[in-house]
């Protein structure tokens, strides 16, 4: 029999490390919950057309990285490579935008799939926590989202990250810039693939990591010089709100992002301890996406933070999250009668909100105490026949090693009091 392994580019989250992932998701979600964002969950797959139209026909995500397939029923679906198109699709389908209460603010957490070349920080299955604010054009909303992401990272203790900020213009000024850029790029010495990119998505060429390309880009027209007055004023307001909030950012004219739906504000959070996969999160405004997928005009803004890379960033900064021990009390029964009684104690502890576990499988005292140690429990409750005859259990403080008898019917209260 062959044994199976996790598919290439994926990995399993297993205890104790998995607790870190939960804590990271929680830390990212907390500021969102606190700021009027409601939780949304959408399917892991969608009609493939949604991403082709939403994310963009010419993007790497759609052309190379999507897990697209045809079902037995003949539907063309794709595992979701990102969350924004799905969330907007769901909001439109549920008519959330017609509730008269815009923006619709939503947050989500889940698995995403991209058929990428795996390396550290880049996986084929990864997880994001994201937020979308749908249906309002207000620089304060862009600023709010960036501030909340900053707050989430700081609450985890991260400090070695930078916020890159740019404006991609709107449907008035970007086409003018695009033409100018195309004119410039067509005069360069580029390979065939890149020349094709110049035709389809010239802004992406600015993002090319190769030195040979970057060298030629010196003197390329800058979007900054083409922004219309409306976009300029909007961007300036976002910048001022961020500065007033004490959020430090860097202007990065070359920040383009790998998805086609962005307009105006775009940003990326990069961590300096992560090597080549340094983007821990990113987002921006997508004022045209709703119309691209058949909805009404709904200017919107959002971001998604990568959970996997955030965990790597914590490791890079040597941050150990203070995770509460998963078990506070471990029960060790000696004998049949004690097994029944202590199982009852554990059940009562759990009902009282105390995290408790039990020595299963009829282990002897030595083995059971080993399990108690491993569980990280602060207290162990041990009982044998003689204890039960006396109406007590032994309560052992695992930190001090001290042990004392406690009346059986008082043990739950006693432990609760001790744990504070």
Among 26, 116, 253, 337, binds ligand HAM (CB under 6 A): 116
Residue 27, phi-psi category: left (phi > 0), alpha (psi -120 to 50), beta (remainder):
alpha
Flag whether 367 is marked binding. Answer: no
Rg (CA), the chain: 27
Q: Are 181 and 282 in contact (CB under 8 A)?
A: no
- Residue 51 or 177 with smaller CB distance to ligand HAM: 51
Beta carbon of residue 282, minimum distance to ligand HAM (angstroms, whole number) = 4
Helix (H, G, I), strand (E, B) or coil at 301: strand
Which of the stretches 92-100, 119-127, 191-199, 383-391 binds ligand HAM when contact is defined by CB under 6 A?
Answer: 119-127
84 is a contact residue toward ligand HAM (CB under 6 A): yes
Helix (H, G, I), strand (E, B) or coil at 222: coil
Which of the stretches 92-100, 128-136, 189-197, 359-367 binds ligand HAM when contact is defined by CB under 6 A?
Answer: 128-136
82 is a contact residue toward ligand HAM (CB under 6 A): yes
Which of the stretches 34-42, 45-53, 296-304, 354-362 binds ligand HAM when contact is defined by CB under 6 A?
Answer: 296-304
Write phi, then psi, for 398 (nearest 5 degrees). Answer: -75, -15
Q: Are 301 and 283 in contact (CB under 8 A)?
A: yes
Which of 365-370's residues contact partners 24+ apart within 8 Å by CB, and which partners?
365/332, 365/334, 368/332, 368/333, 369/332
Among 274, 304, 346, 355, binds ligand HAM (CB under 6 A): 304
258 is a contact residue toward ligand HAM (CB under 6 A): yes
Among 54, 103, 202, 282, binds ligand HAM (CB under 6 A): 282
> For residues 22 and 68, what is the distance between their CA atoms, to the nearest angstrom?
29
303 is a contact residue toward ligand HAM (CB under 6 A): yes
Q: Are 231 and 170 in contact (CB under 8 A)?
A: yes
283 is a contact residue toward ligand HAM (CB under 6 A): yes
User: Token pair 């059940």 is at which residue?
Assistant: 347
137 is a contact residue toward ligand HAM (CB under 6 A): no
Residues of this chain that bind ligand HAM (CB under 6 A): 82-84, 114, 116, 122-123, 126, 128, 130, 132, 258-259, 279-284, 286, 302-304, 306, 308-309
């Amino acid at each position: 029999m062959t044994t199976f392994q996790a598919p290439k580019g994926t990995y399993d989250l297993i205890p104790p490390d998995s607790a870190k992932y939960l804590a990271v998701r929680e830390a990212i979600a907390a500021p969102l919950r606190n700021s009027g964002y409601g939780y949304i969950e959408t399917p892991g797959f969608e009609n493939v057309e949604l991403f082709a139209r939403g994310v963009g026909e010419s993007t790497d995500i759609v052309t190379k990285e999507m897990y697209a397939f045809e079902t037995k029923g003949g539907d063309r679906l794709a595992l979701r490579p990102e969350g924004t198109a799905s969330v907007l699709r769901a909001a439109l389908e549920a008519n959330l935008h017609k509730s008269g209460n815009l923006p619709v603010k939503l947050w989500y957490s889940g698995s995403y799939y991209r058929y990428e070349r795996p390396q550290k920080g880049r996986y084929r299955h990864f997880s994001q926590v994201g937020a979308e604010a749908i249906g309002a054009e207000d620089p304060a909303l862009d600023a709010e989202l960036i501030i909340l992401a900053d707050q989430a990272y700081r609450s985890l203790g991260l400090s070695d990250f930078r916020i890159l900020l740019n404006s991609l213009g709107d449907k008035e000024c970007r086409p003018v810039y695009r033409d100018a850029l195309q004119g410039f790029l067509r005069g360069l010495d580029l390979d065939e693939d890149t020349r094709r990119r110049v035709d389809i998505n010239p802004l992406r060429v600015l993002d090319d990591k190769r030195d040979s390309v970057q060298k030629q880009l010196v003197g390329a027209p800058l979007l900054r010089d083409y922004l219309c007055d409306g976009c300029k004023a909007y961007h300036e307001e976002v910048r001022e709100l961020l500065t007033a909030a004490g959020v430090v950012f860097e202007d990065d004219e070359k920040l383009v992002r790998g998805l086609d739906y962005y307009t105006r504000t775009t940003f990326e959070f990069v961590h300096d301890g992560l090597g080549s996969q340094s983007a821990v999160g990113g987002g921006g405004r997508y004022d045209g996406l709703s119309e691209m997928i058949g909805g009404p005009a709904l200017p919107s803004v959002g971001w998604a933070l990568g959970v996997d890379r955030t965990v790597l960033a914590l490791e890079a900064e040597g941050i150990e999250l203070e995770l509460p021990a998963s078990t506070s009390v471990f029960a060790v029964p000696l004998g049949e009668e004690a097994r029944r009684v202590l199982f009852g104690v554990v059940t009562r502890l759990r009902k009282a909100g105390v995290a408790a576990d039990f020595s299963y499988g009829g282990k002897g005292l030595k083995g059971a105490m080993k399990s108690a140690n491993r569980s990280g429990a602060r207290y162990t409750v041990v009982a044998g026949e003689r204890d039960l005859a006396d109406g007590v259990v032994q309560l052992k403080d695992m930190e001090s090693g001290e042990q004392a008898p406690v009346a059986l019917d008082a043990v739950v209260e006693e432990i609760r009091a001790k744990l504070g």
